[in-house]
Amino acid sequence: MEQDKIFTTQELAKYLKLNEKTVIKMAQNGHLPGVKIGNQWRFHLRAIDNFLLRDMVAASQEELDSVISSDVDIFPLSRLTAHDLIKVDSKSLSSYDVLSALSKIAYESGLTSSQENLLQELKKREDYLSTAISKGIAIPHPRHPSLELFKETKLIILLSKEGVDFDAPDRKPVYIFFMPCSPNEHIHIRLLAKISKFLQFSKNIDTLMQAKTKDEIMQALMRFDREYMYIER
């Protein structure tokens, strides 16, 4: 789907798999970027992509749950990652080094067939607009998630102990990088919402900031899944 597409309320509700009233409420509350023309809302897909990165972290729990919920469930965060998809790096990195490292992890784990193509798409996205969302966090991802880039849904996590200049809106270094790997836009949106919900709890950010091992990161994700995503239901 083209990033320049303009959605009506009904089309966006179908795209996000939300109730149309929920979309209108989120737009009225400023949690979805839209323009009201007369009594009709219109939504630019490119602006929705930016919203998912910047504003979704501030959305309410109810709104995030609405986005996450779907007839097609995706696994809890702890089941979308693994030790080979996590990198704890204390070296000094540049923004390009981070993107290269993420692409390498995806390739070596069999998530993508072309490390170079994925790197180019990640860099393209950063050139368009930084995926840093402040508080030391960034969520690098391609602008157009697809099966050509990712074979399955997974989550790659990279920690930089020294911090990276990633053109964050608060001008501070980024220490935590989440890369959602999604074969299509619908799953990508839901995975972003789950990551955003995880980041709404400061204790989760603090745990990752202080983590020295991959096990500590996995434990933080499993605790979140148990407490807030109701794995055992």
Quick check: 66 and 19 in contact, CB under 8 A? Answer: yes
Are 48 and 81 found together in one domain? no
Residue 42 lies inside a defined structural domain of this protein: yes
Residue 68 lies inside a defined structural domain of this protein: no
pTM of the predicted structure, to 2 decimals: 0.76
Give the number of domains in the chain.
Answer: 2
Residue 70 lies inside a defined structural domain of this protein: no
Are 218 and 103 found together in one domain? yes
Are 43 and 102 found together in one domain? no
Which residues have CB under 8 Å from 186's CB, separation 6+? 15, 17, 70, 72
| Per-residue model confidence (pLDDT) at position 191 | 86
Taken in order 44, 72, 31, 222, the sign of the CA dihedral is: negative
| Per-residue model confidence (pLDDT) at position 74 | 57
Q: What angle do CA 166, 112, 120 make, to 5 degrees?
A: 40
Q: How many angstroms separate the Cα of 133 from the Cα of each of 5, 150, 188, 202?
A: 24, 23, 17, 14
Q: In which domain, by residue range, is 20 found?
A: 6-54
* CATH code of residue 44: 1.10.10
The 10s digit of each residue's pLDDT in 44-86 is 876 776 666 665 555 556 656 655 555 445 578 999 999 999 9
The 10s digit of each residue's pLDDT in 90-127 is 788 899 999 999 999 999 999 999 999 999 999 998 98
